[in-house]
Structure 1
Amino acid sequence: MPGRIRSEDVDAVREQVRLDEVVGEYVTLKSAGAGSLKGLCPFHDERTPSFHVRPAVGYYKCFGCEAGGDVFRFLQEMDHLTFPEAVERLAQRVGIQLRYEEGSGGPSRQDVGVRQRMLDAHRVAAEFFVEQLASPGAGVARRFLAERGFDRAAAQHFGAGFAPDGWDGLLKHLRARGYRDEELATAGLVSRAQSGDRVYDRFRGRLVWPIRDVAGATIGFGARRLLESDQGPKYLNTPQTPLYDKSTVLYGLDLAKREIAKRRQVVFVEGYTDVMACHLSGVPTAVATCGTAFGPEHVRSVRRLLMDDDAFRGEVVFTFDGDEAGRKAALRAFAEDQRFTASTFVAVEQGGLDPCDLRLEKGPEAVAALVASRVPLFEFALRSTLERFDLATAEGRVQALRAAAPLVAGIKDPALRPEYARELAGWLGMDVDDVRRAVTGAGGKASAPQQPQRRRAGAPEPAPPAPRPAGPDLRDPVVRLERELLQAVLQAPGQVDAARFDGLPDDAFAVPLHRAVHEVLRAVGGVAAASGGEAAWTARVHDTAGESLRASVEELVVAPLPLRPGDPVGPLAAAALRELELRVLLRSSAEVSGRAQRAEASGDHEEAGRLWARAMELTAEHKRLRAASA
């Protein structure tokens, strides 16, 4: 077995990887003051950002759920990796060759983390499918793409490929690369025969799209039937695996994430070719669910990119076919809409064309126009409900009101509810007060019930949040002073006078928590030790702190300082350090004076004289430093 990854290599990876770039692949971040960024926490649902990232020192902290750590911890939590797997993934990202304590060749393929093995196998499979698209046997796949207006460049951009019409083309390719049948079956790349004695390619004779996570790693595939001899479903996806969970995955999110964050808009379509058509038609914010209904985990993924909070209203657009199935899908989406703070819309092509067919028949401009023609989801849901009734008759209007009132009552936004009651009255031609009474009588029951939050596959039942112990009172000026100094030291050690800070006595901090952090700083060699690499030094501080103190260190590393964007930390650190030195001198002078009084009272005049002289020196030093400070 190979040993641990060398600590100097771990530090090298930490120094070269930017935490904000890694986190930014999952969460939209915006400025939160000097050297700090914030966004919606990826580890719990929230509407107001409490997740802070400090890129300079490589740490994050959520002040809502208390999650925190460095870039390795972030990937461990987000992608369920072990620590070595997280280091290996990031090392590959920045081109660092890792070394291991035992042996000279590093881990064998069998020793690499299981998840990383599966990711590597999917990457190799994706490359294989792309190569096969150019083979003579893939003519049917190339024709399928061409008939839908997708050229070679489009296929390459979206990673489209072809699975050969055979039983073991991919299997042989992966076996030759050292992958075992068992791990390929676990990854969903091959299927096992009912007899259990052999495996074969899951995707055969099909056009294949790679399904990637938000960071761009391939975690599964979607495959479209092409051959008449294929008796399988029209679309076949990767089954549930340790990598792939269809309730959380959105096809195209890796390509759309930056435009989603930039435009504050996401467009949901129904299929892979629809995503391609939208992106090629000037709607680069399009994504699609992978063979499943839109659900709460999809909401979580999108909200983090939209930065959807009470201070900002993003835009979510659902596109559905104009047929009855599309309308039902839109009404199902109504149940999930209320999980968004964002404004949610529906765009329906009345001729029943999906974005791919619309682009073919009417050009890319028609796809962009479809999205632009969106209507609010609440309005669409109400109008779709009313269409089922004959509004020309009194009986039809009454029945329509009974059906639509629960929808209006189910609108949680108290400002929107009365507005839609008035709209409904106008569409029905009924008295507004009568409609309001019907809405009130509906008791807040929406026709589309809210879906319960689903946990990730394999995740344990969430434990009730533990009560957070009360911290030091920040209204106390001493507490605030000590906290800001420690924040400055941990966030920007290079801007702190190392000799002065490291020269502070062990009792310089009055607050017990701050004194404990100071002891940790002394244990790692003080601020002077940070000159060899600030991120690695911060990690040593974090590791040395121990479980009881680690959360407090994370908070100090990430919590915003009272500075304006662009202001350096140095002046604040210098002022706080000077004030703490003054307090230390004043406290020392008082302590020595007390000892002098006790010596004098006991008759030891020689000791008393020496102590009084020392007290006068400390008082003079305090006055000198105070004058210099002024």
Structure 2
Amino acid sequence: MIDRETVDRIYAAANIVEIIGEYVTLRRKGVNYQACCPFHNEKTPSFVVSPSKGLFKCFGCGKGGNAVTFVMEHEGISYPEALKTVAKRYGIEVREKELTPEEQHRNDDRESMFALNGWAADYFAEVLAGDPEGQSVGLAYFRQQRGMTDATIRKFGLGFCPGRGDRMSRDALKAGYREEFLVATGLSLRRESDGSLYDRFRERVIFPVHNISGRIVAFGGRTLRTDKNVAKYQNSPESEIYSKKRELYGLYFAKKAIQQQDCAILVEGYFDVISMHQAGVENVVASSGTSLTTEQIRLLNRFTRNITVIYDGDAAGIHAALRGIDMILGEGMNVRVVLLPPEDDPDTFARRLGAAGVQEYVRTHEQDFITFKARLLMDEASGDPIRKAALIGDMVQSVARIPDPIQRSVYIKECARTMDIDEQILIGEVARKRLATTGDRETDDFVRRQTALRREPQPAAEAARLAGPVTAGSSQEALERELVKYLLKYGHCSFDFKEGRNMVACNVAEVIFNELDADHLVFANRLCNEILDTYRAQWQAVGVGTEVPAHYFLNHSDPEVCNLAVDILTSDDNYVPSELWRRKEVHVESDDEMLAVGVPKAVTLYKSKVIEGYIRELQARLAADEELPDDTLREIMQRLAALNRAKVTIAHKLQRLIL
């Protein structure tokens, strides 16, 4: 485990805007920053980052937390791994306590694979630069045939794997790396004959694949042999740290340029990306030869909503462009297409024209998808009514994928004009297609969000937040959450409570703790109880009436506690009483008035709910066992009578509070 002192140093150094800004495009709005949420698909920004509070919150999907939990959630890594990632960014040395064997095994496997990949990348680069075989074969190929500069080779970490079948595997074992991780990462394969290891990428030039934070998750290798029986490219297999459908080659190097230009250029292969970068066009990524996936599109959506797809001008390139377009549209992205001259691919094109030439060609030749697809298919269907009908169906399928109704309407008009067909027919066909596939629930972002909230099961705490103020029908968990809210937001505040004919000054935290302690009550919800205990410890240290700093909860060592605290602290923040009400002398309830009613009511409702639970347990025990000893039966009946009396007393108290 990482000691608390180090954790505190990490949180103190972490700038949440800097960290989250590496993953999504943040735009300042007042004192906060906004973006489209990286955790769910949306068009209207509902993801807010507060630098003053050190937290983020999405008011669409409900996710929230601090800089560390953002990295944890975004990268899909454990809390200790996220702490290490942030610590590394700020040059903080991480000191750890000894872990249990189970924790060590669970936490170390992924880190071991990352460490091995880092070693392998350095190894391949050293072979390329310093080994005679690497220089004569790999380096000569990059420089002479591909026109790569040494600076570009270093930037992308290009390398070479020796031709001897097991040299890299043997060197890795000598360096102390274990066989299981060599096989797990795919760097080595195991012979069926004797179980010995040999190199997957032998005699190939190497392209390290970086994830969004710059760690090496995989490799691609290209053979330089002309033997058609040998696959041109070999790629790392899926592993604990690598999923090809979730990675885009070059994104780590391109993300800043994509943010700055608000556009990503999508190409096919490794060399396409590298040549474009070398030419000075840096907002370029590749799907690495695999079919474009929804996860890759959503990854780009964190940085921009605008994608320009560049494909070869041959038939294969054209049809590849058509396959990817519908998926991009379905994610609500803006997509344009550029077809290169038939003799070029992005690699040769970039080397031939340079940055200015590429940018000018893209500017003058890019087409929106409707124009591109309609003209292309209309040329193919020229004079054939059957093929034209099929074309219309194809176009309808593409337009129906667009989630935004206004954008859909514009494209329908353009499509009708280009294909010389009645617009109403297209409208009807698109409507039928959407009804069959989506039920047309995506008419706009607000309706989609509300529909999702109604249809998807919500966690109990989130459901309590959406339900509004607590009532007699609220669950025990909702009431626990309400009391935690009063502690976090108003624990240091005081209110005047009417006791008989007198007004008594009460502190919120003191009232809650005294009422709970009087009946020896603890919260059933683990997270609420953790916040309760943390608040109590700090409250006792600072004294009644002194505010307990929010960072004790926002930077809590348990990420789930942090997320709940963020959710509570950001709830109801959007409500501001209208100044018009004040000018018209409409009474607006003050915090003191709200607390005077809300705190006693919440405590009393909570006690009532706990008593109801005790009563149900005892009644269930009576129903389950008809042959209880007389003493036990008498004790249960006495407890039930006492609980029912307490319930009546609380009911009268609640009635007074409500009145």
TM-score, normalisation: structure 2: 0.69
- For residue 127 of structure 1, what is the aligned residue in structure 2? 122
Tell me the CA shift for residue 185 of structure 1.
0.8
User: One-letter code of the match for 2:340?
Assistant: E
Tell me the CA shift for residue 72 of structure 1.
3.6
Structure 2: 5+ residue runs without aligned partners? 439-454, 472-482, 495-504, 517-522, 577-587, 601-659
Query: Structure 1 residue 408 and structure 2 residue 395: aligned?
Result: yes
Q: Is the 8 A contact 1:316 1:342 kept in 2?
A: yes
- For residue 137 of structure 1, what is the aligned residue in structure 2? 133
Q: Is the 8 A contact 2:160 2:203 kept in 1?
A: yes
Once the two structures are superposed, residues 537-582 of structure 1 have per-residue CA deviations (whole angstroms, 9 ceiling, x without a partner) of 2346685xx97x7654222445695699xxxxxxxxxxx9x95499
Query: Structure 1 residue 216 and structure 2 residue 211: aligned?
Result: no
User: One-letter code of the match for 2:536?
Assistant: A
How is 1:470-489 mapped onto 2 (pairs within 5 angstroms)?
470-471=464-465, 473=468
Separation in 2 of the partners of 1:167 and 1:559? 60
- For residue 113 of structure 2, what is the aligned residue in structure 1? 118
User: One-letter code of the match for 1:149?
Assistant: G
Given candidates 502, 507, 510, the residue that maps to 2:511 is 507
- For residue 569 of structure 1, what is the aligned residue in structure 2? none
- For residue 238 of structure 2, what is the aligned residue in structure 1? 240
Once the two structures are superposed, residues 26-50 of structure 1 have per-residue CA deviations (whole angstroms, 9 ceiling, x without a partner) of 222223442x333333333333333
Query: Aligned with 2:225: secondary structure?
Result: coil
Separation in 2 of the partners of 1:108 and 1:360? 50
Given candidates 58, 62, 68, the residue that maps to 1:62 is 58
Query: Aligned with 2:463: secondary structure?
Result: coil
Q: Is the 8 A contact 1:169 1:201 kept in 2?
A: yes
Once the two structures are superposed, residues 576-626 of structure 1 have per-residue CA deviations (whole angstroms, 9 ceiling, x without a partner) of 9x95499769x99xxxxxxxxxxxxxxxxxxxxxxxxxxxxxxxxxxxxxx
Aligned CA RMSD, in angstroms, stands at 4.5
More helix by share: 2
Q: Which has the higher contact order (CA 8 A, sep 6+)?
A: 1
Q: Is the 8 A contact 2:487 2:508 kept in 1?
A: no
Separation in 1 of the partners of 2:331 and 2:28? 23
Q: Is the 8 A contact 2:298 2:331 kept in 1?
A: no
Tell me the CA shift for residue 484 of structure 1.
10
Given candidates 34, 39, 42, the residue that maps to 1:38 is 34
Separation in 1 of the partners of 2:222 and 2:68? 37
Once the two structures are superposed, residues 211-261 of structure 1 have per-residue CA deviations (whole angstroms, 9 ceiling, x without a partner) of 111111110111111134695311111111111111111001001111212
Separation in 2 of the partners of 1:427 and 1:327? 19
Query: Aligned with 1:134: secondary structure?
Result: helix
Q: Is the 8 A contact 2:57 2:65 kept in 1?
A: yes
User: One-letter code of the match for 2:553?
Assistant: T
Separation in 1 of the partners of 2:506 and 2:530? 13
- For residue 612 of structure 2, what is the aligned residue in structure 1? none
Q: Is the 8 A contact 1:421 1:436 kept in 2?
A: no
Tell me the CA shift for residue 159 of structure 1.
1.6
Tell me the CA shift for residue 180 of structure 1.
0.3
- For residue 553 of structure 1, what is the aligned residue in structure 2? 565
Query: Structure 1 residue 469 and structure 2 residue 463: aligned?
Result: yes
- For residue 606 of structure 1, what is the aligned residue in structure 2? none
Given candidates 362, 368, 384, the residue that maps to 1:371 is 362
Query: Sequence identity of aligned pairs in percent?
Result: 28
CA separation of 1:222/1:527 partners in 2, compared to 1, >3 Å: closer, same or farther? farther
Q: Is the 8 A contact 2:311 2:346 kept in 1?
A: no
Query: Aligned with 1:241: secondary structure?
Result: coil
Tell me the CA shift for residue 315 of structure 1.
1.8
Separation in 2 of the partners of 1:518 and 1:538? 7
Name which of structure 1's ranges 228-237 and 162-171 shifts more when overlaid on structure 2: 228-237
Q: Is the 8 A contact 1:168 1:200 kept in 2?
A: yes
Once the two structures are superposed, residues 458-490 of structure 1 have per-residue CA deviations (whole angstroms, 9 ceiling, x without a partner) of xxxx984446434374899xxxxx999977789
Separation in 2 of the partners of 1:109 and 1:17? 26
Query: Aligned with 2:207: secondary structure?
Result: strand
Query: Aligned with 1:194: secondary structure?
Result: coil
TM-score, normalisation: structure 1: 0.72
Separation in 2 of the partners of 1:326 and 1:440? 32
Q: Is the 8 A contact 2:50 2:56 kept in 1?
A: yes
Given candidates 245, 251, 264, the residue that maps to 2:249 is 251
Separation in 1 of the partners of 2:209 and 2:506? 52
Once the two structures are superposed, residues 312-344 of structure 1 have per-residue CA deviations (whole angstroms, 9 ceiling, x without a partner) of xx3211111010100110110132132232321
Separation in 2 of the partners of 1:294 and 1:273? 17
- For residue 296 of structure 2, what is the aligned residue in structure 1? 298
Query: Structure 1 residue 356 and structure 2 residue 353: aligned?
Result: no
Query: Aligned with 2:337: secondary structure?
Result: strand
Given candidates 76, 79, 83, the residue that maps to 2:72 is 76
Q: Is the 8 A contact 1:132 1:161 kept in 2?
A: yes
Q: Is the 8 A contact 1:224 1:234 kept in 2?
A: yes
Residues matched between the structures, number: 529
Given candidates 269, 272, 275, the residue that maps to 1:277 is 275
Tell me the CA shift for residue 375 of structure 1.
0.4
- For residue 571 of structure 1, what is the aligned residue in structure 2? none
Separation in 2 of the partners of 1:16 and 1:502? 38
Query: Aligned with 1:208: secondary structure?
Result: strand
Given candidates 344, 350, 372, the residue that maps to 1:380 is 372
Query: Aligned with 1:525: secondary structure?
Result: helix
Q: Is the 8 A contact 1:487 1:561 kept in 2?
A: no
Q: Is the 8 A contact 2:160 2:204 kept in 1?
A: yes
- For residue 646 of structure 2, what is the aligned residue in structure 1? none
- For residue 347 of structure 1, what is the aligned residue in structure 2? 338
Tell me the CA shift for residue 361 of structure 1.
3.3
CA separation of 1:14/1:444 partners in 2, compared to 1, >3 Å: closer, same or farther? same
Q: Is the 8 A contact 1:409 1:443 kept in 2?
A: no
Tell me the CA shift for residue 131 of structure 1.
1.4
Query: Structure 1 residue 19 and structure 2 residue 16: aligned?
Result: yes
Name which of structure 1's ranges 143-152 and 317-326 shifts more when overlaid on structure 2: 143-152
Separation in 1 of the partners of 2:346 and 2:127? 27
CA separation of 1:18/1:175 partners in 2, compared to 1, >3 Å: closer, same or farther? farther
CA separation of 1:404/1:445 partners in 2, compared to 1, >3 Å: closer, same or farther? farther
- For residue 603 of structure 1, what is the aligned residue in structure 2? none
Tell me the CA shift for residue 304 of structure 1.
1.4
- For residue 537 of structure 1, what is the aligned residue in structure 2? 552
- For residue 330 of structure 1, what is the aligned residue in structure 2? 321
Tell me the CA shift for residue 301 of structure 1.
0.4
Tell me the CA shift for residue 112 of structure 1.
5.6
CA separation of 1:17/1:170 partners in 2, compared to 1, >3 Å: closer, same or farther? farther
Given candidates 365, 368, 386, the residue that maps to 1:399 is 386
Once the two structures are superposed, residues 377-412 of structure 1 have per-residue CA deviations (whole angstroms, 9 ceiling, x without a partner) of 1221112211213x3x4xx2x234302212332313
